[in-house]
Structure 1
């Protein structure tokens, strides 16, 4: 993908109907809406993703976190695997046919390993301090830059992302950003997405 990417990750706080209402507004302007519902079972996530698709959210815009079987069954745009995913899962039959596979990583060696296994991109963070990782030091822009230089697949930066920080993250070599609370907690989620996109597009043009 040549365009800078914007991934929006669900936070587990919204009902499926509330999530669908926001997703219907924002999907034309994002690379992916990640369904990351850690407290829900596989069956609950399957039903929820199916509901989102029925509401009119294109499958190609939906990435399922942690459940390759759902991504494959519903032919969503991709799957995001946690950093704890065992070796070679990406090459397993369960993942064959999934359009795009991302893996969360926390250091360069892990990123190189996942690239070798066949990941299409990695998600790296947290870059900046964030409420969801209180007490855990951020990895920062320098670690992001170093990791980007170690691999050839896209790196999506996550953690404490604001529109004002987009330029510094992409200057460090990231192919895009991932946002959670900056969208779902916003008074105007569509306006928030457009603010991020304005920054991403300015960088593409400059």
Structure 2
């Protein structure tokens, strides 16, 4: 998974998001459909639209909704604190990729199991989606990475300029939202992220 770029939807998926995805999907590793307020039917409709836009579903990870991920044959599911236990998901659906969102070392310890493929940890820096909340920082990120064996994808306020520090701390990749969706030029933003991920990695 080293050097991966994950793009997270921002809860307001629209035609504009689709247009951006159609331009950049070949340069990202995974797209996380994270639309908490949408119904199952609405999520399936979005996935159908992605398919029609020739966006490969083997790059799509669904937040929480294991059933939809399996039915639509997506890459996998991103579990949250309220989701079904990862052990049950793995036993029931051994073919799908399983990610787990964590926010502390204690959560990382509990999630450090063979039934999970990767962790998403943050927020690392100040973020537009986490206004007023203290960021975790690179030091805490490294503490978690050094303690556990699972790949960690860092999220939260990661600009191309900050990405190298995150990768050098040992993260297997980064996840971004506003850094792409709200960029003046999303294509250039993805290209800048990809450049750092490719050239800024220091072997551990």
Tell me if TM exceeds 0.5.
Answer: yes
The aligned runs of 1:27-176 (5 Å cut-off) are: 27-86=25-84, 88-92=85-89, 96-116=93-113, 118-176=115-173
TM-score where L is the length of structure 1:
0.91
TM-score of the superposed pair, with normalisation by structure 2: 0.92
State the 1:160 CA deviation: 0.4
Q: How many residues align?
A: 203
Q: CA deviation at 1:50?
A: 1.9
Q: Deviations over 1:113-152 (max 9, x none)?
A: 2222611000000000112111110011111011001111
Q: CA distance change for structure 1 residues 108 and 174 in 2, over 3 Å: closer, same or farther?
A: same
* C-alpha distance in structure 2 between counterparts of 1:82 and 1:189, whole Å: 27
Cα deviation for residue 97 of structure 1 reads 4.0
**DSSP 3-state at the match of 1:75:** coil
**What RMSD over aligned residues (CA atoms) do the two structures have, in Å?**
1.8
SS in 1 for 2:153: strand
- 1:151 to 1:199, Cα distance in 2 relative to 1, 3 A: same
User: Could you tell me whether the CA contact under 8 Å between 1:72 and 1:95 is conserved in 2?
Assistant: no
Cα shift at 1:104? 0.4
Q: Which consecutive residues of structure 2, in runs of 5 or more, have no partner in the other structure? A: none
- The match for 2:21 is 23
How many angstroms apart in 1 are the aligned matches of 2:143 and 2:202? 25
Distance (Å, rounded) in 2 between the aligned partners of 1:51 and 1:137:
37
| Cα distance in structure 2, aligned partners of 1:169 and 1:205 | 11
Partners of 2:168 and 2:202 within 8 A in 1: no
1:18-53 per-position Cα deviation (integer Å, ceiling 9, x unaligned): 222111111111110111111111221112112211
Residue 6 of structure 1: aligned partner? 5
**Which stretch shows the higher mean deviation, 102-111 or 90-99?**
90-99
